């Protein structure tokens, strides 16, 4: 049985605690913030479908391996991020798609992800390293191993299920302050 979403996010953050990290909009950002806000965390509070694009920009600007914690609905909304990542040379981007098969943040409506081969999309786009995991241990192992390799795009489809507890509260920080904090961290203030 796939792991819950919160333990998956916690495992990713534990595996790459120093990496610039982009959280897709909705519950993923809320869960990430509830696990401990850090200067290297950037929360998308809107802009569904653009987490990969933001992560690509950060990886290119900082030349640091960047972690993107995305959702299946978000990738389905904008698969162009896969093509852009594959086209970039020496891109240190690890794109983790938390696939729960639903639009969890908007009421749990089913997404078409179970009928779509997201890893096939990533491979067809030209992402050189593609994985599917469903345990925290597998996710941790792959993230650590991939982060030690030379910069190259990585795609990880992490099969999860929605948490059974209510979601953490919305991010209430002043969003411009969060952006400034992250910009300082990235060295582009």
| pLDDT tens string 120-158 | 999 999 999 999 999 999 999 999 999 999 899 999 999
> Pairing mode, if any, of strands 129-133 and 154-161?
parallel
Give the domain extent around 131.
3-186
The pTM (predicted TM-score) of the whole model is 0.94
| pLDDT tens string 70-88 | 999 999 999 999 999 999 9
Beta bridge partners of 41: 21
Q: Give CA–CA dist 40/20, Å, rounded.
A: 5
Q: Give CA–CA dist 69/32, Å, rounded.
A: 9
* Confidence at residue 189, expressed as pLDDT on a 0 to 100 scale: 62
Measured from the Cβ of residue 176, the count of other Cβ atoms closer than 10 Å reads: 8
What mean pLDDT is predicted for residues 21-32?
Answer: 93
The count of structural domains within the chain is 1
Q: Band of the pLDDT at 46, cuts 50, 70, 90? A: confident
What mean pLDDT is predicted for residues 22-29?
Answer: 92
What's the CATH number where 37 sits?
A: 3.40.50.970
């Amino acid at each position: 049985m796939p792991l819950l979403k919160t333990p998956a996010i916690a495992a990713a953050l534990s595996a790459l605690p120093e990496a610039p990290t982009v959280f897709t909009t909705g519950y993923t950002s809320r869960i990430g913030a509830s696990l401990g806000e850090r200067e290297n965390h950037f929360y998308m509070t809107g802009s569904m479908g653009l987490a990969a694009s933001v992560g690509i920009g950060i990886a290119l600007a900082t030349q640091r391996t960047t972690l993107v914690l995305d959702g299946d609905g978000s990738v389905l909304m904008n698969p162009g991020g896969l093509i852009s990542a594959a086209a970039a040379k020496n891109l240190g981007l690890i794109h983790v798609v938390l696939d729960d098969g639903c639009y969890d943040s908007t009421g749990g409506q089913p997404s078409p992800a179970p009928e779509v081969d997201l890893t096939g999309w990533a491979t067809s786009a030209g992402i050189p390293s593609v994985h599917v995991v469903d345990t925290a241990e597998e996710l941790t192992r792959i993230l650590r191993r991939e982060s030690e390799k030379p910069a190259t795009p990585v795609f990880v489809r992490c099969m999860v299920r929605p948490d059974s507890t209510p979601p953490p509260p919305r991010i209430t920080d002043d969003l411009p302050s969060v952006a400034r904090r992250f910009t300082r961290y990235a060295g582009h203030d």
